[in-house]
Chains A and B, each alone.
Chain A
Amino acid sequence: MIIGRRSAAALCAMLVGLVAAGLPGSAAAEPVGEDAPPPKVNLVLDVSGSMRAKDVGGQSRMAAAQQAFNEVIDAVPDGVHLGIRTLGANYPGENKKLGCVDSEALYPVGEVDKTEAKTAVATLRPTGWTPIGYALRGAVKDLGDGEGSRRIVLITDGEDSCGQPDPCDVARELAAKGTQLTVDTLGLAADDKVRRQLGCIAEATGGTYTSVQDTDQLSDRLKQLVRRSADTPLENPAPAEGGERCADAPLLTSGVYSDRAEFGQHRWYQVELQPGQELRAALSVAADRAVDRDYAVLLRAVSERGTELVRGREAGSGRTDVLSTGLRYPWNGEEERTVCLEASHAFSAPASVQRTPGLPVELTVDVVEAADTADVAFFGLARGWIPVLLLTVTGLAAGLLAGLIGRLRNPVRRA
């Protein structure tokens, strides 16, 4: 039996050896992004007549905004290109036509000269109309077409006093055109109409809306928004226009893509897989306008012959920014395979809501080398009393059998 104990020790040693050999390799660390194009931020300030109102902590709205701007200019992180645009700063008259095209770039988007920028802001006096839609268009032009994230921060105390075009539709149009654009809005007056309009502008571009309560909050929030651009220097997704069928779909490689999908529209993409590669795809559809309560998204991976390989789906209801789903498909065949991806969504909107452009779609495609090894039982190991009992009974049966055979061959001598 001492031998028995020794063998138990040997068994343990063997187990340790096995375990050491079976250590899973650790995944490699991700490469870190090198210097990206500078993020650009354009601050759009309302200098309309109503900014004279003294309701931000005893200060006039204008004074509060100027103070906040000074703090922001001082705190601009390195590498961020900042610009300032005004609306309603120059034309004090009653002519709507003139008042509604009153917006100018006060400080061009670029590296900030703090003194110059502050001097420019200090000269502003509340004057004219509130042409928000017109100013947004101008602000986008100021930002240019370069790569890197583009952000507009709109600070206003009133709704667009020019009516057409609706600034919310303008914002959606601008966001749909070309590269990524985010509009964050800050409202200086707690007015239902202002809130609705600014909320709508923010929603249309994936930005945020803040209802300003006091000067400190205003400058903190402004600083936060400018910093956010610097903290997350994200590359803009590549535009990819999905096809109507798999055959005319664009071929995608690893990376992030942006597209638009109208209500009821299906978008197709192709991805090529070599044997041993795995496709990982994630789809997000953003609700950038008022949508009905219930919604869903579906992402299907389909073979070229039309057989469904795998699907990801998600449904929801209530207030949301995006609805997303994803799928993965490992390919272990002999030859390369083209997988078709079909993206669709089941958002719907009230009749009054603008239909075009479609909802923003973000598709992340990853084609990775992946050994997809099935093993449901952790190295085939057992757990629980039943396998232990089974092993014991098997051992006992084997022992008895061995004993019986031994007895037959070599009968036991009786004492």
Chain B
Amino acid sequence: MDIVYAQPLKELLQISSYFKEQLIVLVKDEAGEKIAKKRELIPCFIVNEKTDLNKLKKKRKAVLGGSVKANEFATKIKADFLLQPSNTKQFFDLGLAKKLSENGTIVVLMFEELLGKNSFDRHLYWKNYLEIVRYCKKKKTKFVVASGCKEPLNLKPGKVRQSIAQTLGLTNEEAKKALEELK
């Protein structure tokens, strides 16, 4: 399973079917949800504090982290995914990891964002994510690496994403299990 942003679906489906992987597509509205369902993809709504959550009660929700407010919002609404909880600055701690673990929220590293940075920022991202994985392991929070791309050719195979999670500090079994449970 992989998580991507909404994008041209024809090429995306060709590549994902070659890798035999199902995709979770991040959508902003019901129109996007309909298009994703039509192509047998799993839709997930990106929400923030201004979103009307009453319409999305039984639907998957993802929060784009990267600030203390956004990360706390994800724990408040018990989101399914917390995307990019950290960037060049660290907004993740043991308390947050514990709350996310209790809610069953999955922490996601959107790999494409890391790739788009210069080497110094990449070093900071990498350093922060090493810490995040350490906290997630201590509090048994699920952590996953996703392609997080807006273009089909930036999709990464499952083995590569699993290896990145292992390089960050997860064991082979933890990384594999986390990817398999991404449903």
Do A and B originate from a single complex? no
Residues in chain B within 8 A of chain A (CB atoms): none
| Residue ranges of A at the interface with B (Cβ–Cβ < 8 Å) | none
